[in-house]
């Protein structure tokens, strides 16, 4: 049975690690301040309201994706028209399978309906909605 003696890190390595931690902390603080400044100076964009109804079901898994055991999670940025229709879909988080990403947009554009966002006078306007994660997985 051999024994391994643990040695403390060298002072140069420790100093380097401390510098790295300080830089990381400073960058984190700067990012937080930038986000806070942006949040307080810019008005939030109007958002469409999604209806809490199911859009996807188990039967919606594309056949080729199921046969190939493709899975993944997608998120989409939807453009919502003043009448609540989805007029555009852009994948912002890909499943890494074009078929699943395209299918996600097809289903959302065909099935999703929204209560449109409104301007300050209460008139419906075009807006965007980022979907929650949409996960494709085959369960055994």
Q: Are 99 and 131 within one domain?
A: yes
Q: Are residues 85 and 118 in the same domain?
A: yes
Asked whether residue 33 falls in the same domain as residue 86, the answer is no
Q: How many domains does the chain have?
A: 2
Angle at 37 between CA 32 and CA 40, to 5 degrees: 125
For the stretch 3-51, pLDDT in tens is: 545 555 555 555 555 454 444 444 445 444 455 554 433 444 455 555 5
d(CA 109, CA 56): 12
Domain co-membership, 70 together with 16: no
Distance CA 44, CA 58 (A): 36
* 54 and 74 fall within a common domain: yes
Range of the structural domain that residue 21 is part of: 10-42
pTM, two decimal places: 0.61
- CA 70, 140, 106: angle at the middle one, nearest 5? 40
Is 5 part of any domain? no
Whether residue 104 is contained in a domain is answered as yes
């Amino acid at each position: 049975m051999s024994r391994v003696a643990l040695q403390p890190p060298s002072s140069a390595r420790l100093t380097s690690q401390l510098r790295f931690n300080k830089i990381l902390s400073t960058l984190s603080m700067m990012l937080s301040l930038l986000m806070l400044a942006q949040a307080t100076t810019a008005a939030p964009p109007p958002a469409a309201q999604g209806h809490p109804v199911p859009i996807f079901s188990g039967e919606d898994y594309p056949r080729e994706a199921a046969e190939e055991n493709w899975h993944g999670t997608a998120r989409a940025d939807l453009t919502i028209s003043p009448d609540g229709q989805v007029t555009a879909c852009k994948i912002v988080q890909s499943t890494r399978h074009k078929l699943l990403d395209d299918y996600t947009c097809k289903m959302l554009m065909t099935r999703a309906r929204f209560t449109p966002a409104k301007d300050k006078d209460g008139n419906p306007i075009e807006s965007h909605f980022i979907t929650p994660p949409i996960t494709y997985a085959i369960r055994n």
